[in-house]
Chains A and B, each alone.
Chain A
């Protein structure tokens, strides 16, 4: 009798624990999908930029435009960080200068604002799929059109599977993949780009 009561008590406790549970998430695939164990950087985006020599020109651009707060505070954004290649091969040429200090501030500011997306878009939060989605950036302009998606690699190696991809099916813009993606800053996800997003109708 005492034994039965103990069993019943255990069952009651189990039932109480399970009561009111939310619907369990469905298992989407049986395939093993390896991911980095931890993409969290432990710092905000501005601190990350300052501590990484790959973004020295971007840091200088942000300081010239006075946009440090955008990168340090939590505005619910996704950050697209332009590395040295992006600046030297594309951005400076588009601005017609050789040094970031000579760039027109208003145009530089627009470029930086265009590379801050409203909302959080990374590979983990389900915001991105294999079809491109249009996103809104901080640049208020009719040409501030951008799409983001995950890349579906059909090759045998599948080395670029689920890479974050920009500007796909976006007018006649050039589509490209992030150099590195899903860096989870304390104030939002960030993706590293080696070329800027440019919208072409």
Chain B
């Protein structure tokens, strides 16, 4: 019996143990719900509104946490699925930020534990709805005014839902924005503002532009900007009407009259006259008026402003509102030489015109048989220079410069000396020196007598990178006093120089030994030495009369109908022509039978282009009177028959 009882007790105990350890059993406990804040301020105009934060503590393990959005109309809608899984069964934190809107009143949280206890709590929302931008209302529907009149008084009011922070008042003119008043940043009650333009210093608008509207920008504390426009009815005034009479052709430096008429609703203020050319404009005359609506004008233009390069006359009519109308009429100006009398200071005139921008080209006509002193310095030119005197009545220009008579390192289109007598008092001077990358169009020395102590080159390039289109000597008598060695009569020493054409024609040259030295090694050159008489070439060194030193220079050299004669003290070894890679063509070049020259040929690519006259035709037999520089070729000589040398001596 006892055993049975004990067995039953044992079985019951085991069963009770099994039951107690196999299933969960909860009792409802206390649930605490703590919100960070009871009410959340939600501003729908902001993007970073706060989260709902709630900490739930439960004595008994939590079963679920469910959230509900509570609407202002009292309805509730579940927000997200209920939370049923918890890292710690007795604790849970709600951290949520629903998409807030104006209909929300709050967020309700319901927590249930596994014992069946329920706890709910609600955080309220104090919602600030979305505000509209500030609204601007103008007192008038439109502003109306005429060109030149000030902007009429205008006013507006601004009404805002949030505090105003800035009001900007602008003028829109020709599509551009012009600030009328500094930004307004101080407001009474903050939500409204009244503006009256009479309380501000409104600036003048730009008369060259068309006022289109007044624009007001009003900004609130949320950064919302309301924009309003007040249209402007603007009456622009017409420009003046202008007519100008055609102009006749005029001589350079000659005055003339510009006439015409103008009309303007506003009234004419002035008429101005400008001389114009390509890239050039200068006021040359004008007349003022006192607001006449209709006027005529006749304006005299001084001749000192009228240069050959002018292309027209521009007339500008300005009205009292500074509106302008311009008319340009063509002008034809005939070039005229500046007359220089015997008593004029030629050097001063030359220097004044060199520095005067009105003179793009200097054209001087010297008095017949006059004498002028050009000082002891080289004359540096920067523009075209043309000097002449009457044929047969050469004016004499004397230079005491130690170096060249004319120098330049600029861009010069033309240098032309006609029928002049150049002489120098300084031993060792030269004629032309082109320096430092000068650019020359054409140099022409024609019909001139050149004598004195010249010994530097007639044409000389210095310092490299000079270029010339054409260098020409024609119909001149040149008495040179050259030294031995050193420089040639025509001297181009630097590789980087360029000459397209070089010619010495119908001239008489005495003195220099070396006629031409050319060290240019790029490009192409054409050399023409023809119909010249060369006498008394001097020298004692070795060399070549005409030397083309560089094989890279291409082109041609023509030597034709030249006569060489006179005495010489040639003692060295020298040759006639080194053409190098130039194509040399020569014919009818002769020397008197007693002219000492020639020491071999073929050396260094040299050629002999001068033939020797018969024995009987020596210097004395050919020239009439060499000692007195009468180089007339005597009749009966083959020189005359063959027409060799400077034509002036064959007449």
With A12-B13, A15-B14 already in contact, the answer to whether A142 and B21 are too (CB < 8 A) is no
Give the nearest-CB partner of A139 in chain B.
Answer: B36
With A133-B93, A136-B34 already in contact, the answer to whether A12 and B9 are too (CB < 8 A) is yes
Give complex CA distance A4, B6 in Å.
10
- CB proximity of A170 to chain B, nearest CB, Å: 10
Task: Say yes or no for A36: interface residue by CB 8 A criterion.
Answer: no
Give the nearest-CB partner of B54 in chain A.
Answer: A136
- Collect the chain A residues with CB atoms within 8 Å of residue B14's CB: 15
- Collect the chain A residues with CB atoms within 8 Å of residue B3's CB: 4
> Which of A16-24, A152-160, A186-194 is near enough to bind chain B?
A16-24
Asked if residues B87 and A11 are in contact (CB atoms below 8 Å), the reply is no
Give the nearest-CB partner of B5 in chain A.
Answer: A8
- CB proximity of B379 to chain A, nearest CB, Å: 81
Task: Say yes or no for B51: interface residue by CB 8 A criterion.
Answer: yes
Give complex CA distance A119, B37 in Å.
16
Which residues of B223-265 are within 8 A (CB) of A?
none
Task: Say yes or no for B53: interface residue by CB 8 A criterion.
Answer: yes
Asked if residues B88 and A126 are in contact (CB atoms below 8 Å), the reply is yes
Asked if residues B20 and A20 are in contact (CB atoms below 8 Å), the reply is yes
Q: Is the interface of A mostly helix, strand, loop or mixed?
A: loop
Contacting residue for B13 out of A19, A21, A145, CB 8 A:
A19
Q: Is the interface of B mostly helix, strand, loop or mixed?
A: mixed
- Collect the chain A residues with CB atoms within 8 Å of residue B200's CB: none
Give complex CA distance A140, B50 in Å.
13
Task: Say yes or no for A134: interface residue by CB 8 A criterion.
Answer: yes
Asked if residues B21 and A23 are in contact (CB atoms below 8 Å), the reply is yes
Give complex CA distance A140, B93 in Å.
17
Task: Say yes or no for B80: interface residue by CB 8 A criterion.
Answer: no
Asked if residues A201 and B2 are in contact (CB atoms below 8 Å), the reply is no
Give complex CA distance A144, B34 in Å.
14
Asked if residues A118 and B34 are in contact (CB atoms below 8 Å), the reply is yes
Give complex CA distance A5, B9 in Å.
12
Task: Say yes or no for B201: interface residue by CB 8 A criterion.
Answer: no
Which residues of A110-133 are within 8 A (CB) of B?
118-119, 126-127, 129, 131, 133
- CB proximity of A120 to chain B, nearest CB, Å: 9
Task: Say yes or no for A135: interface residue by CB 8 A criterion.
Answer: yes
**Interface bits A26-62 vs B (CB < 8 Å: 1, else 0):** 0000000000000000000000000000000000000
Which residues of B54-100 are within 8 A (CB) of A?
54-55, 57, 87-88, 91, 93, 95
With A12-B9, A136-B53, A145-B53 already in contact, the answer to whether A131 and B17 are too (CB < 8 A) is no
Asked if residues A119 and B57 are in contact (CB atoms below 8 Å), the reply is yes
Asked if residues B13 and A142 are in contact (CB atoms below 8 Å), the reply is no
Give complex CA distance A12, B9 in Å.
7
**Interface bits B1-42 vs A (CB < 8 Å: 1, else 0):** 011001101100110110011001000000000111100110
- CB proximity of A33 to chain B, nearest CB, Å: 18
- Collect the chain A residues with CB atoms within 8 Å of residue B278's CB: none
- CB proximity of B162 to chain A, nearest CB, Å: 19
Asked if residues A5 and B6 are in contact (CB atoms below 8 Å), the reply is yes
Give complex CA distance A23, B13 in Å.
18
- Collect the chain B residues with CB atoms within 8 Å of residue A21's CB: 20-21
Give complex CA distance A21, B24 in Å.
11
Task: Say yes or no for B48: interface residue by CB 8 A criterion.
Answer: yes
Q: How many residues of chain B get a CB closer than 8 Å to chain A's CBs?
A: 31
- Collect the chain B residues with CB atoms within 8 Å of residue A12's CB: 6, 9-10, 13
- CB proximity of A32 to chain B, nearest CB, Å: 23
Asked if residues B24 and A23 are in contact (CB atoms below 8 Å), the reply is yes
Give complex CA distance A15, B7 in Å.
13
- Collect the chain B residues with CB atoms within 8 Å of residue A8's CB: 6-7, 9-10
Give complex CA distance A201, B57 in Å.
27
- Collect the chain B residues with CB atoms within 8 Å of residue A133's CB: 93
Asked if residues B50 and A19 are in contact (CB atoms below 8 Å), the reply is no
With A140-B37, A201-B48 already in contact, the answer to whether A15 and B87 are too (CB < 8 A) is no
Give complex CA distance A23, B19 in Å.
11
- CB proximity of B10 to chain A, nearest CB, Å: 6
- Collect the chain B residues with CB atoms within 8 Å of residue A126's CB: 88
Give complex CA distance A16, B55 in Å.
40
- CB proximity of B68 to chain A, nearest CB, Å: 20
Give complex CA distance A142, B91 in Å.
22
Asked if residues B93 and A135 are in contact (CB atoms below 8 Å), the reply is yes
Give the nearest-CB partner of B51 in chain A.
Answer: A145
Give complex CA distance A143, B456 in Å.
97
- Collect the chain B residues with CB atoms within 8 Å of residue A11's CB: 10, 13
- CB proximity of A114 to chain B, nearest CB, Å: 11
- Collect the chain B residues with CB atoms within 8 Å of residue A144's CB: 36
Contacting residue for A131 out of B24, B87, B91, CB 8 A:
B87
Asked if residues A15 and B13 are in contact (CB atoms below 8 Å), the reply is yes
With A19-B17, A142-B50, A145-B53 already in contact, the answer to whether A134 and B24 are too (CB < 8 A) is no
Give the nearest-CB partner of A125 in chain B.
Answer: B88
Give the nearest-CB partner of A16 in chain B.
Answer: B13
Give complex CA distance A136, B93 in Å.
9
- CB proximity of B451 to chain A, nearest CB, Å: 98
- CB proximity of A73 to chain B, nearest CB, Å: 18
Asked if residues B55 and A142 are in contact (CB atoms below 8 Å), the reply is no
- CB proximity of A175 to chain B, nearest CB, Å: 16
Asked if residues A119 and B13 are in contact (CB atoms below 8 Å), the reply is no
Contacting residue for A134 out of B6, B41, B48, B53, CB 8 A:
B53
Give complex CA distance A201, B13 in Å.
61
- Collect the chain B residues with CB atoms within 8 Å of residue A129's CB: 87-88
- Collect the chain A residues with CB atoms within 8 Å of residue B37's CB: 140-142
Give complex CA distance A131, B21 in Å.
32
Asked if residues A15 and B10 are in contact (CB atoms below 8 Å), the reply is yes
Which residues of B413-441 are within 8 A (CB) of A?
none
Asked if residues B93 and A134 are in contact (CB atoms below 8 Å), the reply is yes
- Collect the chain A residues with CB atoms within 8 Å of residue B95's CB: 134
- Collect the chain B residues with CB atoms within 8 Å of residue A119's CB: 34, 55, 57, 91
- CB proximity of A2 to chain B, nearest CB, Å: 11
- CB proximity of B35 to chain A, nearest CB, Å: 8
Give the nearest-CB partner of A24 in chain B.
Answer: B21
- CB proximity of B14 to chain A, nearest CB, Å: 6
- Collect the chain A residues with CB atoms within 8 Å of residue B54's CB: 136
Give complex CA distance A118, B54 in Å.
11
- Collect the chain A residues with CB atoms within 8 Å of residue B16's CB: 15, 19-20
Give the nearest-CB partner of A144 in chain B.
Answer: B36
Residue from A4, A5, A18 with most neighbouring chain B CB atoms (10 Å):
A18
Give complex CA distance A74, B457 in Å.
118
Given A11-B10, A135-B55; 14 other pairs, CB 8 A cutoff: A5-B2, A8-B7, A15-B13, A19-B13, A20-B16, A20-B20, A21-B21, A118-B34, A131-B87, A134-B53, A134-B95, A136-B53, A136-B55, A142-B36
* CB-CB nearest 3 A-B residue pairs: A15-B13, A134-B95, A8-B6
24 inter-chain pairs at a CB distance below 8 angstroms, sorted by A residue, are: A8-B6, A8-B7, A9-B6, A12-B10, A15-B14, A18-B20, A19-B17, A19-B20, A21-B20, A23-B21, A118-B34, A118-B55, A119-B57, A129-B87, A131-B87, A135-B93, A136-B35, A136-B36, A136-B55, A140-B36, A141-B37, A142-B36, A142-B40, A144-B36
Interfacial residues, chain B to chain A (CB-CB below 8 A): 2-3, 6-7, 9-10, 13-14, 16-17, 20-21, 24, 34-37, 40-41, 48, 50-51, 53-55, 57, 87-88, 91, 93, 95
Interfacial residues, chain A to chain B (CB-CB below 8 A): 4-5, 8-9, 11-12, 15-16, 18-21, 23, 118-119, 126-127, 129, 131, 133-136, 140-142, 144-145, 201
